[in-house]
A and B are shown apart, each in its own frame.
Chain A
Amino acid sequence: GESVGLHLPTLSVQEGDNSIINCAYSNSASDYFIWYKQESGKGPQFIIDIRSNMDKRQGQRVTVLLNKTVKHLSLQIAATQPGDSAVYFCAENTGGFKTIFGAGTRLFVKA
Chain B
Amino acid sequence: NAGVTQTPKFQVLKTGQSMTLQCAQDMNHEYMSWYRQDPGMGLRLIHYSVGAGITDQGEVPNGYNVSRSTTEDFPLRLLSAAPSQTSVYFCASRLTGLTEAFFGQGTRLTVV
Which residues does chain B contribute within 8 Å of A5, judged by CB atoms? 39-40
Q: Which of A3, A49, A89, A98 contacts B58 (CB 8 A)?
A: A98
Residue interface bits B72-98, CB-to-A below 8 A is 1, else 0? 000000000000000010101010111
Q: Give complex CA distance A103, B39 in Å.
A: 10
CB pair B42 A99 closer than 8 Å = no
Q: Which residues of A contact B58 (CB under 8 A)?
A: 98
Q: Are the CB atoms of A89 and B103 closer together than 8 Å?
A: no
Interface residues on A, range: 20 to 34
- Name the prevailing secondary structure of the B interface residues: strand
Chain B interface, number of residues (Cβ within 8 angstroms) = 33
Q: Which residue of A lies closest to B102 (CB)?
A: A46
Among A14-22, A37-45, A75-83, the one that faces the other chain is A37-45
Question: Are A98 and B48 in touch, CB under 8 angstroms?
Answer: yes
Q: Which residues of A contact B (CB under 8 A)?
A: 2-8, 31-32, 34, 42-46, 49, 51, 89, 91, 93, 95-104
Given contacts A44-B90, A46-B101, 15 further A-B pairs with CB under 8 A are A5-B39, A7-B39, A8-B40, A31-B98, A43-B104, A44-B43, A89-B42, A89-B43, A96-B97, A96-B98, A97-B31, A97-B56, A101-B35, A101-B42, A101-B44
